[in-house]
Amino acid sequence: MPSEVASEVRGLIRNRVFKSQAVLVGERIDLRSFSSTLALATNPLTMGIAGGAAVLYRHGIVVFFDLSASEQATFLSELLPSVNGVYPTPETESLEIHIDAHAGESVSAGVASLEDSSAQRLQIVADVLSKSVLLGLYERNVASEFDRIEPLAAQLEQSGRVQSHTRDLLKKLGSLLLVEQRMVGRAEIAEKPEVLWDHPQLEGLFARLVDEFEISERHTALERKLNLISQTAHTVLELLSSKHSLRVEWYIVMLIVLEILLTIYQLFLH
């Protein structure tokens, strides 16, 4: 497991200017392999590494603070055995951080000014970055589903009928339900981090970060797209079901007519 754990001080990072980067490495990270004695803070797990820090989330995200690309790569290579469903191309999100105890905390144009680099402030930054990187993944996945749904709408407009397989539509609905489950159940994108319960004075910082990365707006837009795709798929399923039911009814009518004709034929024979 990753080594070089630093001791906790008021500021976890010595540098006054450094970069933070969230990396979505996989579906899930098994944090049970990490010893609690190595943690600088928990919920989420925060560790000091090589003069920097990392915040780890069970839903597959690591947020690095003041670590070079090579240091990040080393940490991720050691973390890999604990990752389920590794993504071949990790999603990333970054933010530059300036530490200034005398300046007011602010977030603008990809730069956050913080009073210090305490674990609580880094956890707030990590929370918003992790949500942003997850939203980026879901936005891309939902956009691809939009591209697949559009031809169905075009078919309905042009011919009033659709040519699609029920199984394919059910798979689409399943993938959408999975996205919603991950958004609500795992990442809790619409929820505030638990660290705010113990440190309500950081509400302002959290709100500024949420505004900077447009978390609420993106989450709302994503929910609308998911609902629209889901409604379209449900509509097509209902049309296909109605078409199937109508076909069955015609078969029944044909069988009844055939039975009547056979009965009449037998009566004439006698």
- Confirm whether 270 is domain-assigned: no
Answer whether residue 253 is part of any domain. Answer: yes
Cβ–Cβ under 8 Å, residues 122 and 11? no
- CA distances to 81, 92, 145, 168 from 25, in Å: 12, 9, 22, 28
Residue 50 has pLDDT above 60, yes or no: yes
Indicate whether 21 and 139 sit together in one domain: no
Q: Is the pLDDT of residue 244 over 90?
A: no
Q: What is the mean pLDDT of residues 82-100?
A: 92
Which residues have CB under 8 Å from 96's CB, separation 6+?
A: 17, 18, 19, 20, 110, 111, 112
Q: Same domain, yes or no, for 105 and 138?
A: no
Q: Which of 63, 84, 116 is the last residue before a domain boundary?
A: 116
Position 110 in a domain: yes
| 92 within a domain of the structure (yes/no) | yes
225 and 144: one domain?
yes
Secondary structure of 31-56 in HEC code, one letter for each residue: HHHCCHHHEEECCCEEEEECCEEEEE
Task: Taking residues 13-35, report their average pLDDT.
Answer: 88
Quick one: pLDDT at residue 270? 61
The length of the chain in residues reads: 270
72 domain-assigned: yes
Note whether 149 and 245 are same-domain residues. Answer: yes
Co-location of 143 and 245 in the same domain: yes
Name the pTM for this structure. 0.73
| Same domain flag for 164 and 91 | no
Kindly state whether residues 47 and 165 are assigned to the same domain.
no
What residues make up the domain containing 143? 134-263
- For residue 37, pLDDT beyond 60: no
**Whether residues 36 and 75 fall in one domain:** yes
Looking at per-residue pLDDT, the higher value among 104 and 35 belongs to 104
Strand bridging mode 83-99 / 61-65: unpaired
Residues 42 and 152 in one domain: no
148 domain residue, yes or no: yes
Does residue 46 share a domain with residue 83?
yes
Give residue 93's pLDDT band: very low, low, confident or very high (50, 70, 90): very high
Number of domains the chain contains: 2
Residues 90 and 163 in one domain: no
**Domain match, 25 and 108 both:** yes
**38 in a domain, yes or no?**
yes
pLDDT at 90 over 60: yes
